[in-house]
Structure 1
Amino acid sequence: MIELVALDMAGTTIDEHGDVYRALEDSVVEAGAQVSAENLQAWMGADKTEAIAALLELGGVRADAALVERTFGRFREILAGFYAANPPVPLDGVEEALRSLKASGIKVALTTGFSRDVADPILATLGWEVGGGGLLDAVVTSDEVPRGRPAPHMIHRAMERTGVMDVSAVIAAGDTVNDLQAAANAGVMGVGVLTGKLDADALGQCPNFAILDGVKDLPTLVAQSRWSSLSRPR
């Protein structure tokens, strides 16, 4: 029996028009790094401070703590500008899917590589409330745990906040390799969605229970009786 669905934000539940990619690239390029699209994709879904440090090093720049902090500040400024000009919106069918899951007694959490000060304004713009009958039961940001994805900490923190104890009763869905690796590391059921930059072949290289067109298809998947017998990823 599924008790909790933990979902990534950008590219999984929210269409933010690819602006995270652009803001990451612009901020590290401003700091003197040159990075490839493959390097950017490899760090999508991860904690943004960790991603910036890695991308600076990959781009030939020594990533000392002061530079990482400055670059992260520029990332937030650039991203805020993009979002002000073109606000994020829910992906197709996501709100309906989340309401369906909650109507079935399943708790819904978001986990994100954003820090809290980036995530909260997005949620406020969308009108997605947490607790008290809102659309969400919990939101966990990467600055609230020791390590971001692919570490399992955000998923486990979501379980803690929603009172779920059994990892076999949890689905974690996302659109990146790091999302699925985090699910595997957490011991929960990983589901890939095709609403991000990666196709089914790329996501299928990671441990997963299913690859879906989008979160909109999760209620149907959860309703299938075969979920009750699953406890390990393929």
Structure 2
Amino acid sequence: MWAVSRRVLRLPQALGQCAVRQIGQSQAVPYQPITLSPTMLRKATRTLLNDIDLIVYDMAGTTVQEGGIVYKTLQSAMREDGLQVSDEEMHPWHGAKKEAVIEHFALKAGTPPADIAERVTRVGEWFVNAIDEAYFNEASAIDHIDIGLLGYFRQLKDAGIKIAFDTGYPENIQKGLIKRLGFDKVADAYISSYQVAEGRPYPYMIHHLMEQTKVMNVKRVCKVGDSVRDIEEGRNAGCGLVVGVLSGADDFDELMKAGAHVVCERVTDLPVPRRHVAPDERRLPDLS
């Protein structure tokens, strides 16, 4: 557990929720600071997932440790095609569907509308080939975001919580990562933004995952991600709990400003609840 000298539990006055952050960081919204001992922190947060039936996890930066390769590769792909994109310009696009990013910068560079589709396809193909090589070659350092991640997922499943993944990766990249990292052994469902009309911040991936996992109440769904777009996706979907993690793209203030209910260092910081039975499992079957 975190040392009491390094952590503060802060309560956003407007939201009535909690977030754990490092002391000394600037804050974007008003907080009422309360310093808790490790024991009290465990008590205050141990029921966070008690009413959750499904957790939808982002991949890169949230559950997958890949060092920001996906964004660096997309940036390189655009530069190879003559689009000058700075790190600062790329940052707000973390978590977005890659075609949307390419189209934005192509239009900004003055690409004629009639040529946009061809340019998006060309840059997109360069990106997919490069990311496939970076992720799946023998020297790839792609790994779990935490050494105990699979064990943590199994504990959640033992507690009755379903596990799902959503991503802005193309389907083949997502499936390759799911298999490479062993997520296929714990996932109840997964989906790519390429399988729905719009990716994040639209809520469609979460709603499709609810359908696949037969979870009826969106208030019993938790969305976890490292980017502002993940938080916006969870809030737009109506999730009962939206969690930001500091292991990837965006910082504490950005995640809280986007509407996160809880912010923690990494996904495994969320406490595993005691075994519970989902409401739909307690209902009698509809015989009408």
Q: Give me the TM-score of the superposition, normalised by structure 2.
A: 0.72
User: 2:279: which partner in 1?
Assistant: none
- Structure 1: distance between partners of 2:94 and 2:109: 16
Which has the larger displacement, 69-78 or 54-63?
A: 54-63
Which residue type is aligned with residue 124 of structure 1?
A: K
Higher helix share: 1
Aligned 1:84-123 pairs, distance under 5 A: 84=137, 85-92=139-146, 93-123=148-178
> What are the superposed Cα offsets for residues 135-171 of structure 1, whole Å, 9 maximum, x if unpaired?
1100110111000000000111111110011010000
Which residue type is aligned with residue 4 of structure 1?
A: L
> What are the superposed Cα offsets for residues 101-127 of structure 1, whole Å, 9 maximum, x if unpaired?
111000000000011111111122112
What is the CA-CA distance between 1:59 and the residue it aligns to?
4.4
CA contact (8 A) 1:27 1:75 kept: yes
Structure with higher Rg: it is 2
- Structure 2: distance between partners of 1:160 and 1:153: 11
Q: Does 1:48 align with 2:103?
A: no
CA contact (8 A) 2:150 2:183 kept: no
User: 1:64: which partner in 2?
Assistant: 116
TM superposition outliers: structure 1 runs of 4+ over 3 Å: 58-63
Q: Structure 1 59/194 Cα, relative in aligned 2: closer, same or farther at 3 Å?
A: farther
User: 1:226: which partner in 2?
Assistant: none
Aligned 1:1-234 pairs, distance under 5 A: 1-62=51-112, 64-83=116-135, 84=137, 85-92=139-146, 93-129=148-184, 134-188=185-239, 189-220=241-272
Which has the larger displacement, 174-183 or 54-63?
A: 54-63
Q: RMSD of the alignment, in Å?
A: 1.5
SS in 2 for 1:219: coil
What is the CA-CA distance between 1:7 and the residue it aligns to?
0.4
- Structure 1: distance between partners of 2:62 and 2:209: 17
> What are the superposed Cα offsets for residues 176-226 of structure 1, whole Å, 9 maximum, x if unpaired?
010001111101121100000322112111111100111111234x66xxx
- Structure 2: distance between partners of 1:199 and 1:12: 13
SS in 2 for 1:109: strand
Gaps of 5+ in 2: 1-50, 275-288
| Identical columns (%) | 37
